[in-house]
Amino acid sequence: MIQTYMHDYDRGSILVVDDDPDIVDLLREVLEINDYRVETAVGAGALSLARDARPDLILLDLHMPGMDGVEVSRRLRADPATSSISIIALSAAHDLRERAAEMAADDYLDKPFELSKLLACVDRWASRSLITPLRAVGGGRAAAG
């Protein structure tokens, strides 16, 4: 039996950047069921998509072929059109906390992650974007905390 979900997508938009199709499919399904719009990309493809789609939040894998998450993040932060988008780093790396700080991520989640923790983190950061839509005009990313 195929189940179709109708969505209002009123909770914001998320860009998922990961090279693992199973992770992408899982994140898309979970986020869409929870009324988020979802776009996906791998590596450098995230740069133009983030610029064009202006998501509320980016879930960014650390390790990808070609351009890794650290470089993607560095370029997103350097571009005035994308510098204020919140980023959550995702990885199974033992040094994720340090790498997330290096890439100026707003938060991070260890893989494998619990879906409840993922949703709590996404809800927290996506809601900040929705309640502070002019933060880029003020000259910077939302303060962590």
Angle formed at CA 75 by CA 70 and CA 79, multiple of 5 degrees: 150
Taking the alpha carbons at both ends of the chain, their separation in whole angstroms is 43
97 phi/psi in degrees, rounded to 5: -60, -45
Q: How many residues does the chain have?
A: 145
Pair 11, 56: CB distance under 8 Å: no
- List 39's β-bridge partners, or say none: 15
Model confidence, pTM: 0.82
The single residue listed with the structure tokens 């905390």 is 145
Q: What is the pLDDT of residue 134?
A: 38
The architecture of the domain spanning 13-131 is 3-Layer(aba) Sandwich (3.40)
**What is the reported pLDDT for 11?**
84
- In this predicted structure, what is the pLDDT of residue 128? 75
**For residue range 55-82, what is the model confidence (pLDDT) as tens digits?**
999 999 999 999 999 999 999 999 999 9
Decide if pLDDT at 85 tops 80. yes
Positive/negative CA dihedral, 37, 55, 113, 28: positive
